[in-house]
Chains A and B, each alone.
Chain A
């Protein structure tokens, strides 16, 4: 089929280094000695642990409950015993810890009961719910919960659905082999997404350096009688970026401020479609993924790896060379060095590259920017990296936003072409995270201000209400006393008191009356206390032995001495 393809500006062509790991079919990685499964593996809410140390779990059993709509469940990758739920280092550039469930496999790899579902008999809501409960997330690297992307915009009709099999990063071949070996299941998974979103067209984009994968996908599409278009796109980094692939296949440009569904287009990775099919048709939650192991190793290959496998155990399978000094997760363009070699494989791990100075020579020193503009020509988003660099460096974050820093996808093309070897992307990441932090602070400050002002308002209102209440009570008391006084004067005195005199007398009478009332209350309280004291009977006086009786007599004698003093003190006070 001939199709009019669009182009995106810029892009680079780094050496692909893909052939090394394409020679062998996908292998199942053996069970590791222990699994460290991070609970927070997707964008959104942090799943809550639902197991504790000592629990026996089965393969596919829920261990982390999704928290909120944008969050996905986490499952035990194999059967075994939970050793602990504790903090462990994450495969994250920060090298910080996060909550993980550590499982010791029992070697049996026993599944929970799996039920195949017929998604066509389910409502779309049920399908989305099931995908969330199965932990299906975008396996292209962004790990956004997939069910959150499966709702079409209410106003814009779905035009195209783009399936991303481009895989443009050097070294990575896991999607390529997935499409070659499991094309049918990928296509069935795409069918689920199609039925949920109802797009007019489904476009499967595959870079033209993967002819076998494209052929396998075409065969699967025609075998299943689907109407998906398998389109080969030119090999150019970063054609596999969601926004770039959408641009190439549909001509639509998605700005940072909008969602792609607002433009009637949505994009999924092929591996995501595969896991969605496994989750629906086989009842298998996401507990493993394909990982390319390459770089400074003897036997580069793709492995089906359980989530939570320590990276060093996985790397050992490929026989790393002795000069290996680290592990890069992801490709050489966007990947980063792991904080240590024991960090676990997570849902975002598509590739491990054994790092050595031979493959990744140390970066030459950064030179001043000469404003050559190479970065602007290479930028696939038509940004001006040299300007953004300038302002990021000067920490002038307002200006970086004017130059649309949030449209930057951190693909690394600008750093790749920079003749001065400036780590441009690092500056942009720095600027972005600073802007986010400031935004968080600003929101917190606004909230605090609002609550502070509300509290002040409330305090004032309460004070006013109290004052009003007191004034009312005092007025009522005064009126009562005045009436009583009037009645008293009328009853006792033979002289008729003039009304005006009573009114004049009212304030003093009121004050006196109030004092009197208070005194009466105090006296009444004292009486009550006295009565209570007297009412308290002496208990447990029966069946006493001689010793106890002697003790009591002694105490009573002492009390006799003290007690006469007490009333005198009260009398003195009264006087």
Chain B
């Protein structure tokens, strides 16, 4: 009789706890993969596709699944790799491709024929214009992804590195110059 009671108590406990867990899993369900969001927030959002994925989000999904390396994003730079490594507990690797200085696209408006191909190619809506009208880049919105270069039939888009100006100038890390002591000359 006692053994039956014991089993009943355990069974009751299992049912209650199971119900609680089941309820919690529905009530506190996490939409989407939070890790993907975290990885995506580290990526630079240039949407350039240099990693081989169509945008930053697909690349972060692939990283979260562990399918690809974390060193495929040149615009993120080595610092981006470092932060991804910290987040995921993976090893820091040098970048697959060379890290380039930040750049933006410039349209030569005199050559532009207004074909709208670059507007369709721009992943971040940074080009304005209409069919048979001049197009131009909205400079602050350009991520420098170069996706507008190949579709242009008249090659009127060029990339220009962002130069240092008073708005983006940064104080440098203080460096202490080490100088050799002046030589003692014999009189």
Contacts and interface: CB of A to CB of B under 8 A. Distances in A.
Q: Do A and B bind each other?
A: yes
A430 B125 contact: no
B170 A426 contact: no
A117 interface: no
A430 B124 CA distance: 31
A484 interface: no
Given A423-B174, A427-B174, A430-B174, A452 B168 contact: no
Interface of A: 40, 90, 92-94, 96, 98, 365-366, 423, 426-427, 429-430, 432-434, 437, 440-441, 444-449, 451-456
Contact of B171 (A429, A449, A453, A455): A429
A94 B174 contact: no
B47 A448 contact: yes
B148 interface: no
Nearest to A453: B57
Contacts of B141: 447-448, 451
A453 B46 CA distance: 12
Contacts of B173: 430
B110 interface: no
B143 A448 contact: yes
A454 B43 CA distance: 18
Nearest to A98: B166
Contacts of A96: 164-166, 169
29 contacts: A93-B171, A94-B164, A94-B166, A94-B169, A96-B166, A98-B165, A366-B174, A426-B171, A429-B171, A430-B173, A430-B174, A432-B171, A433-B169, A433-B171, A437-B168, A444-B45, A444-B143, A445-B45, A447-B141, A448-B45, A448-B124, A448-B143, A449-B40, A449-B45, A451-B124, A452-B45, A452-B55, A452-B56, A456-B55
Ordered nearest first, which 10 A-B pairs have the shortest CB separation? A445-B45, A429-B171, A433-B170, A426-B174, A448-B45, A449-B45, A94-B169, A430-B171, A433-B171, A451-B124
Contacts of B176: 365-366
Main secondary structure of the interface of A (DSSP, over half): helix
Contacts of B55: 452, 456
B172 to A, nearest CB: 7
A455 B124 contact: yes
Contacts of A451: 124-126, 141
Q: Which of A40, A92, A432, A444 gathers the greatest number of chain B CB atoms within 10 Å? A: A444
A456 B47 CA distance: 12
B74 interface: no
B44 interface: yes
A447 B166 CA distance: 23
Nearest to A440: B168
A448 B122 CA distance: 11
Contacts of B126: 451
Contacts of B140: 444
A507 to B, nearest CB: 35
A434 B170 CA distance: 7
B75 to A, nearest CB: 10
Q: Which of B57, B143, B169, B174 gathers the greatest number of chain A CB atoms within 10 Å? A: B174
Nearest to B76: A445
Nearest to B163: A96
Interface in B40-56: 40, 43-47, 55-56
A440 B164 CA distance: 15
Contacts of A423: 174
Contacts of B125: 451, 454-455
